[in-house]
Structure 1
Amino acid sequence: MERISRIDIAKGIGISLVVYAHTFSPFIDFTHMFQMPLFFMLSGYLYNQKDNIKETFIKKTKSLLFPYIFFLILTNLIFVLLCEILGKPHHIHPGILIAPYGVALALWTFVAVFIACIMFKVIDRTFDNYIYKVPAVFLCFFIGVGLYHFHIKLPLYIDSAFTIVIFYATGYWLKKYPVIEYIIYGGFVVAVIVYALSGYLPSVDLKSNIYSDPLCLFISCGISMFFIRLAGLLDKSNITKSIFSYIGRMTIVILGLHILVFEFLYLVFPRKDYMAAVAVSILSIALILLINKFVKIDVFLNKVRKIKLEPNLKRIKQRSEE
């Protein structure tokens, strides 16, 4: 699929916000409302309707689950080595395989997006008419919100995936029907007025499937749309285009490594300092891009994407039948 520069720029903005949010950020309660929804909408924008469920499963396994396993092993091995060198205690619980924490904390995104993609593909393939597709997507969203309110946690971030599906679907539908953007902005204005009058700030943390108020959906999508529009403006400048589009193309590598890089930077910078948080964010992205320039992690992951799994699966099946 041909890369779209403004989508890469939007990803670059998004991953920069995510990295900053994982430092000592005073704006985390606000940025949580849109930083991950922005990524999910961008993923939906790139949705391929032609692929069937099996093809989607195979493609997403290579593009999401393999990086998940790769970064899970890599980051923890390096972290254990760092702890041994510094003489710090460390312990890795087996549960990290299905609920990453510590230096692998951000990897939850890979699993949740994988499940959300499959959910939306099933909906898209099951129903031909939008009269059924749209309610099915909203049903998933309200199931996710309901699971939060009833304090029900599902393994492998399935509860988060239910909530995420609507952002993924919105990204795809925005590409097909741009008029939806005006509906989102209208709902955004209403939501801002309601929250301003009530003095209520909804709680959002999609990793923990915290989405306290469905009306916040318009805030999440509205601000995400703002950054997508901003990406379009930055696309007109060669400097901003080259910087943010490159960062955007390295999103998976940055997402997988930034918390580990924090551990090295925190040997020099204080953990709970607002100015240090900005410096750590910028330096961590710069260091990851520098490391990737020599190690070529992105090239390796792209090669994995191109591996044809289906012929190998057929050969395995044939051998098992012999």
Structure 2
Amino acid sequence: MEAQRQTKPLTGGRADHAQRILWIDIAKGIAMLLVFYGHLGGAGDNPWFPNLTGSIWVVYLFHMPLFFMLSGLTFHPNKDFRTFFISRFKRLVIPYFFFSIYALGKILLLIVAPSVVQGFHAGAMGTPLSEIGVILLGNTNGLWFFLTLFWGELFLYGVNKLTKQSIHRHLTLALIALIASVAWFAMSFLGTYKYIPFQLLHATEAVAFVGLGWLLSHKIKMFGKQATLYMLAGSTALFIIFGVVCRYTETHDVGWWIILASLPYLCAAVFGSLMTIAIAQLLPSWHWLTYIGRNTMIFYGLNGLSMAIARKVVFMVIPVSLVAAHIVLQIIIGLLVIAVACLICTVATPILNRWCWWGIGTSRPHAKLLSAKHVAPDAADSSH
């Protein structure tokens, strides 16, 4: 029964590519729900859930590093460069521009109804021309993950090629991940990563945590229940400790000491991710959660739009002032907003898979049916 929960056979082929690891889908589903929760507050003056800002801050300590680490668990760089580049370009770069259509919609609204945009309680927007420039330069809010992961995986592909025959391969990868992670947190505190387009500096986050996930992949996948319980207990305790340290650590005006100030945030990100991975390994294979995990590309791409619609729908029925005045109501309504947003994405998923496969990095539907009858050499990579 445990083995059946951990993997789901596909059709034929080698075992390492013909089985889908269900707990990775579960972990991706959890990570996606954390993204929705992190976006509850919106932006700008945040009038909806003022008492949830503390818990949202906790989620932001690790939820995106978690996504990158999960990508590392399914990272397969042992292909020729052309095949690898094309597959990642289709899977990550094209979806970035496809889902940026939502941002173009906001630009159109800015032109025809600027007063409506001002009522969104969202982050400030520039002129329509400058907003189009933001999209073309790879800086669309909320969609940076796609380009960041693309560059990070390309870099790690090169690392794999250069160190494949080295006896110090794992040490080299660990050092690269450590340097990249410290560089990322230092740049994020200073905001310097925003000065380079196409998320090239932001890719240090992907290099760090995809690299770490890749480094730990074999060991984590081999864990039994007892080892997973130990990982859950240890990582939870350490996450709490480093989370408290982060809460009381100032990261501004510290000069070069910002490198040391980054370390608690790095540790919180790592242990928070390991904690979630352990939880995912222990949870039952709930269909709704694995469905989200299998379709994170669509859920992530639509999370901004779906959350905006969900908030609009919910707060048409329930007054914002009533919710904002009671923390219990904020929790209940916040979860309701997330549920509505997930429902919107669930309805959109089969539509996009059927009609917009070219924009979300998947194969043409009839091609999927044909490939199911043969060995799928990239099954684990493309599905995760």
Q: TM-score, normalised by structure 2?
A: 0.65
How many aligned positions are there? 293
Alignment equivalent of 1:20, drawn from 34, 37, 50: 37
Name 1:318's counterpart in structure 2: none
Q: Percent identity?
A: 24
Name 1:215's counterpart in structure 2: 264
1:257 and 2:302 are equivalent in the alignment = yes
1:224 and 2:273 are equivalent in the alignment = yes
Name 2:20's counterpart in structure 1: 3
- Hey, what's the Cα distance between the residues in 1 that align with 2:174 and 2:155? 13
Q: Which shows bigger deviation, 282-291 or 81-90?
A: 81-90
- Hey, what's the Cα distance between the residues in 1 that align with 2:334 and 2:113? 25
The one-letter amino acid of 2:39's match is: H
1:113 and 2:149 are equivalent in the alignment = yes
What's the secondary structure of 1:159's corresponding residue?
Answer: coil
Distance 1:86 1:135, change over 3 A: closer
Alignment equivalent of 2:185, drawn from 136, 145, 156: 145
1:170 and 2:230 are equivalent in the alignment = no
Alignment of 1:29-178 (within 5 A): 29-73=57-101, 75-79=102-106, 88=116, 92=128, 93=131, 94-101=133-140, 105-127=141-163, 128=166, 129=168, 130-148=170-188, 151-153=191-193, 154-178=196-220
Name 1:282's counterpart in structure 2: 339
Would the aligned equivalents of 1:37 and 1:220 in 2 still touch at CA under 8 Å? Answer: yes
Q: Which shows bigger deviation, 187-196 or 286-295?
A: 187-196
Q: Give 5+ residue unaligned stretches, structure 1.
A: 204-209, 308-322
Deviation at 1:16, TM superposition (A): 0.7
Deviation at 1:303, TM superposition (A): 1.3
Deviation at 1:110, TM superposition (A): 0.3
Would the aligned equivalents of 1:20 and 1:281 in 2 still touch at CA under 8 Å? Answer: yes
- Hey, what's the Cα distance between the residues in 2 that align with 1:12 and 1:56? 25
What's the secondary structure of 1:47's corresponding residue?
Answer: coil
Q: Which shows bigger deviation, 191-200 or 264-273?
A: 191-200
The one-letter amino acid of 2:162's match is: T
Question: Which deviations, in whole Å up to 9, do the C-alpha atoms of 1:132-153 show, x marking residues without a partner?
Answer: 3322332222333343465533
Q: Which shows bigger deviation, 6-15 or 90-99?
A: 90-99
Distance 1:53 1:138, change over 3 A: farther
The one-letter amino acid of 2:267's match is: F
Distance 1:304 1:63, change over 3 A: farther
Deviation at 1:185, TM superposition (A): 7.7
Would the aligned equivalents of 2:303 and 2:341 in 1 still touch at CA under 8 Å? Answer: yes
Would the aligned equivalents of 2:77 and 2:84 in 1 still touch at CA under 8 Å? Answer: no
What's the secondary structure of 1:48's corresponding residue?
Answer: coil
- Hey, what's the Cα distance between the residues in 1 that align with 2:274 and 2:201? 25
